[in-house]
A and B are shown apart, each in its own frame.
Chain A
Amino acid sequence: MDIQIENLTKSYGPQKAVNNINFDVKTGEVLGFLGPNGAGKSTTMKMITGYIGIEKGDIRIGGKSLTDPESNFKQHIGYLPENNPLYLDMPIIDYLEFCAALQGVEKTKIDDRIKEMIGLCGLNREKHKKIGELSKGYRQRVGLAQAMIHDPEILVLDEPTTGLDPNQIIEIRKLIRDLGKEKTVILSTHILPEVEATCDRILIINRGNIVANGTPETLRKQAQGNEVLKLRIEDGDVETILKSLNALDTVQEADLVHREENLFEVQSVAQQSSKRNIFNLCVEKKWVLTELTPLETKLEDIFRNLTVN
């Protein structure tokens, strides 16, 4: 099920928590929602899941507007709110049963679903406890289990891996990736490597406005502009190599980084790559090219550039 968000706005008093944002999420896509604290990520998620009303604009799920009284969109969404609120006085299994019943899972299938979720979220060891007796990470797992109990087509996860141990983080990320192949997933996080590990597309939001939207690669390209290569060329005189590199017509600038190790950094002119030219140059001069690495802008840098102001 696709999600379309059009001109969505939400204010708290004079402050615009979400300011006229537009984006789509397609089936089979995992969208990573990034942004500094107070950017409006949770507010957007609360509107998508129907907890708070839409002030201006529209959200369409599977083509139907949320404001349409006919659309029973909540049934198609699994939601893990931030801070993971749970009924602490309920046993895990009773709680999952309650959630399944509310989400319209057939009575005969509820037990199987609960078993599946307990396995999937690694709850087996603790399954007979009350939620209040669980550690933070296990509560997070219960939160994930209740979100997925009815096998929803859309998952909205607000910081899903907080409090999980490293093993569980890896498992949950893998789970999200797998789910994301058939379902529509929106997740917010402050852990940038997590986005690279799980998301097909990144949306960066700052003070209620979208400041970037694209795959990690396109964002890098946009942020970076010209290609930068790190080279190691051996069996030649350093000065000659530097001069020849600078003479290549796709190269804007070549610098020597480390004389003893024959390390160079080459920046190409805009929209052009120098990789082929460098390779051919080395072949021609009988130099040995032992390293050629494109230098990528780190996601952290992109994030900082877009959100620090």
Chain B
Amino acid sequence: MHTIWTIAKRELATFFDSLIAYIILALFLGFSGFFTWLYGNDIFLVGQANLRVFFNIASWSLFFFIPAITMKMLAEERKTGTLELLLTKSVSDREVILGKFLGSILLICIALTATLPYVITVANIGNLDNGGTICGYLGLLLLSIAYTAIGIFASSITTNQIVAFMTALLIGLFFQIIFGVLAQNFTGSLGQFFDTLDLQSHFESISRGVLDSKDLVYFLSITVLGLYLGEWSLSKRHIS
């Protein structure tokens, strides 16, 4: 655990050192803020409904920005050779993956915390369902861990950051849109199957305030699978 924390801390420090963190945070807040303002301009009328617009838009922002956070994590280390140095320290492949995972989750948590003033503003104006708000954030967090795991896997299979970014986005696209579209176009058990895979519907049911273990299992499965595949690909050392 200590090792994972050491790696996560370094990741975070590197982020904030290289300005990337600030750019991503600014873009994330700007992007979410702008679209929430654009689509939710009846903010003064409906408190909770308006927050739902915000959670929806934040989920899209995360969909784009998480691959940008994770893309260099392993690809860059493999390219510069520092991965060799890291993995010959007394560290296991799993600890490296988990450390990187924790590092980017912490950055995302910072980004999500930065949106709190917005929620507080809404709460001061209209009446706010605290439980619903917490569920909304929980949904964003679950979505984040799933996309981070996918991003880390994408970063583990290449030495090129751009390829890692595109791969993560492409895999994410299936969960974010394509499975949902397929679910609508197929009926019966196939439609059911795609609906189960669709991330949006799981996210929406959580952010509506309905906590179902099925949704939790869904997000956690993607996360575990992504991290596991990342570890597996890291154990095959020779990809160039």
Contact = CB atoms under 8 A, between A and B. Distances in A.
Contact of B84 (A75, A81, A103): A81
A51 B89 contact: no
A81 B80 CA distance: 12
Nearest to A45: B88
B85 A85 contact: yes
A202 B193 CA distance: 64
Contact of B6 (A12, A72, A88, A102): A102
Interface residues of B, number: 23
B213 interface: no
Interface stretch (A23-31, A93-101, A163-171, A288-296): A93-101
B87 to A, nearest CB: 6
Contact of A87 (B82, B89, B235, B237): B82
Contact of A94 (B13, B81, B84, B235): B13
Main secondary structure of the interface of B (DSSP, over half): helix
Given A74-B90, A102-B90, A83 B237 contact: no
A195 B77 CA distance: 32
Interface string B84-97: 11111111000000
Interface in A61-95: 72, 74-75, 77, 79, 81, 83, 85-90, 94
Contact of A102 (B3, B17, B81, B238): B3
Nearest to A83: B81
Nearest to B92: A74
Interface of A: 12, 46, 49-53, 72, 74-75, 77, 79, 81, 83, 85-90, 94, 98-99, 101-104, 146
Interface of B: 2-3, 6-7, 10, 13-14, 17-18, 80-82, 84-91, 235, 237-238
Given A89-B18, A98-B10, A102-B86, 5 more contacts: A53-B237, A74-B90, A87-B14, A101-B2, A102-B91
